[in-house]
Amino acid sequence: MSRTPLHPTREQIELPMVLDCLSDPIRLAIVYQLAQQERVSSELCCGDFSGLGGKSNLAYHFAKLRECGLMQTRVAGTNRFMRLRREDLEARFPGLLDAVLSSAARDADRLPLVSGCELVEGDRK
Amino acid sequence: MSRTPLHPTREQIELPMVLDCLSDPIRLAIVYQLAQQERVSSELCCGDFSGLGGKSNLAYHFAKLRECGLMQTRVAGTNRFMRLRREDLEARFPGLLDAVLSSAARDADRLPLVSGCELVEGDRK
DNA sequence: CCAATAGTTCAATAAACCTTGAACATGGGG
DNA sequence: CCCCATGTTCAAGGTTTATTGAACTATTGG
């Protein structure tokens, strides 16, 4: 089994793929939630997004986010921790991620809600 | 026949739709070319994009760009003149269009080429 | 060792998408 | 007035997409 999932290199990140990835409301919400959480911890695991859909559907969206270079996944035991590839995105397309995130923030009420997901981080081994 | 095609109001412009629209290489090239040309004249007509595909395919992409609020179309005789809705986009999602355009500029070589389209504007009635 | 947990993978389905060509509408120039 | 140029609309195709549930793998804790 792929111990470490495939990620594109920085140079392999393609603009149309990134935009396409961000154009899906669920994936946009994932990225948005990941960005919101960055001040607390830079990582979240799959289960933290359960408010956005079923497990297998989320796994599908996670894969797309990984393949287009937006997210990185780290395997730790039975968990997968994911974080935004901010530095790579910024190097490749300066200002783009921030512009999308602040645009999403303006329309946060139109994003799929994260339903009761308390998001009380703080301790995670 | 729709004398003036439908355009969404500023408030109706949706982020996922805009990103989805820009994620297609042909549409991204259309928007990019429109932006490039802005210093000369803020409008181009359909035929100016013939390097990017067949007429009916382009009409399809123009419609999508219109429906998502990226472009506006003005009918003049037998021509349709189109321009970017910069002000509306900027009001709705500040910085987004510029970030996408400068990202596209970095990868201009990966955009569909505008093949021999000389782009010698200057006079257009 | 067993059971529960966390995620992925697979197959199937329905919807949306891009592309093409043919038919159509409309306005301008000889 | 007729024809040509400019675009749009329509139907058809083939491809990709999102979503679901069931089966599967792997790790942790008792």
| Contacts of residue B69, Cβ cutoff 8 Å, sequence gap at least 6 | B7, B8, B10, B12, B13, B14, B17, B18, B85, B88, B89, B92
Please give the pLDDT value at position B60. 98
Q: Looking at residues B24-30, what average pLDDT do you find?
A: 98
User: Closest approach of chain A CAs to the CA of B110, in angstroms?
Assistant: 9
pLDDT of residue A3: 59
Asked if B110 and A14 come within 8 Å (Cβ–Cβ), the reply is yes
Q: What is the DSSP letter of A123?
A: -
CB contact under 8 A, A20 and B20: yes
Report the side by side order of strands in the sheet with A71-76: A44-45, A79-84, A71-76
Does residue B95 surpass a pLDDT of 60?
A: yes
B66: tokens are 């219109």
Q: How far is A82 from chain B (nearest CA, A)?
A: 22
Nearest CB among B23, B93, B107 relative to A23 is that of: B23
Checking if the pLDDT of B116 tops 50, the result is no
Task: Check whether A82 has a pLDDT greater than 80.
Answer: yes
Interface membership of B90 toward A (CB under 8 Å): no
Number of residues in chain B: 125
Question: Is the distance between the Cβ of A16 and the closest atom of strand D smaller than 7 Å?
Answer: no
B102 against B1, higher pLDDT: B102
Residue B5 confidence (pLDDT): 73
Residue with nearest Cα to nucleotide C9 C1' = A56
Q: Is B25 within 8 Å of A16 (Cβ atoms)? A: yes
Q: Are A25 and A111 spatial neighbours (Cβ–Cβ below 8 Å)?
A: yes
Name the pLDDT band for B121 (thresholds 50, 70, 90): very low
Tell me the C-alpha distance between A8 and A88, whole Å.
10
CB contacts of B99 in chain A (<8 Å) are 93-96, 98-100
Domain boundaries A24-108, corresponding CATH code: 1.10.10.10
